[in-house]
């Protein structure tokens, strides 16, 4: 019985540790880094530029992002990229979770360190 309880606690502890270590959606972070950083800076810097209501407005209003990026062929290509289209909901959640008034302050980790913009 003691082995079962110990095994359960060990497994539960590992799952909790893994969940706690993931502060944000790394897939969304990497997508933003790949498609948007050349113009907007790091993903966290980009997310902090506006608040969550504005992010929802830009993502949920039809063709609003395209109108904002009009005349910028590289940006329009990023918006038409399949990565962006497939992960649009994840990207919106990432931006909202890390937006201006979200209270999220991300420090240096394996994916991100500093703000280059």
The string of DSSP letters for 67-109 reads HHTTT-HHHHHHHHSHHHHHTHHHHHHHHHHTSTTS-------
Dihedral of alpha carbons 52, 57, 59, 60, sign? positive
> Dihedral of the CA atoms 117, 23, 94, 75 (nearest 10)?
30
pLDDT at 18: 57
Task: Give the tokens for residue 61.
Answer: 């209003």
| pLDDT above 90: percentage of residues in the chain | 44
CB proximity list for 6: less than 8 A, separation 6 or greater: none
Q: Can you say whether residue 106 is alpha, beta or left, with left for phi > 0 and alpha for psi between -120 and 50 degrees?
A: beta
Average pLDDT, integer, range 6-11: 79
The answer to whether residues 113 and 63 touch, using CB atoms and an 8 Å cutoff, is no
End-to-end CA distance of the chain: 57
Q: Is the pTM of this model over 0.85?
A: no
Average pLDDT of the chain is: 82
Q: Is residue 77 over pLDDT 50? A: yes
Q: List pLDDT tens digits, range 21-64.
A: 456 778 888 899 999 988 888 888 888 889 999 999 999 999 99
Q: Is residue 5 over pLDDT 90? A: no
């Amino acid at each position: 019985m003691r082995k079962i309880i110990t095994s359960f606690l060990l497994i539960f502890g590992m799952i909790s540790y893994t969940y706690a270590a993931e502060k944000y959606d790394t897939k969304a972070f990497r997508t933003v880094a790949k498609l948007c950083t050349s113009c907007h800076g790091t993903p966290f810097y980009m997310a902090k530029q506006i608040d969550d209501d504005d992010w929802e407005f830009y993502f949920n209003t039809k063709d609003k992002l395209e109108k904002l990026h009009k005349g910028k062929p590289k940006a329009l290509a990023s918006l038409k990229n399949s990565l962006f289209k497939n992960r649009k909901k994840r990207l919106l959640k990432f931006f909202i979770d890390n937006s201006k008034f979200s209270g999220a302050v991300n420090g240096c980790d394996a994916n991100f360190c500093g703000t280059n913009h």
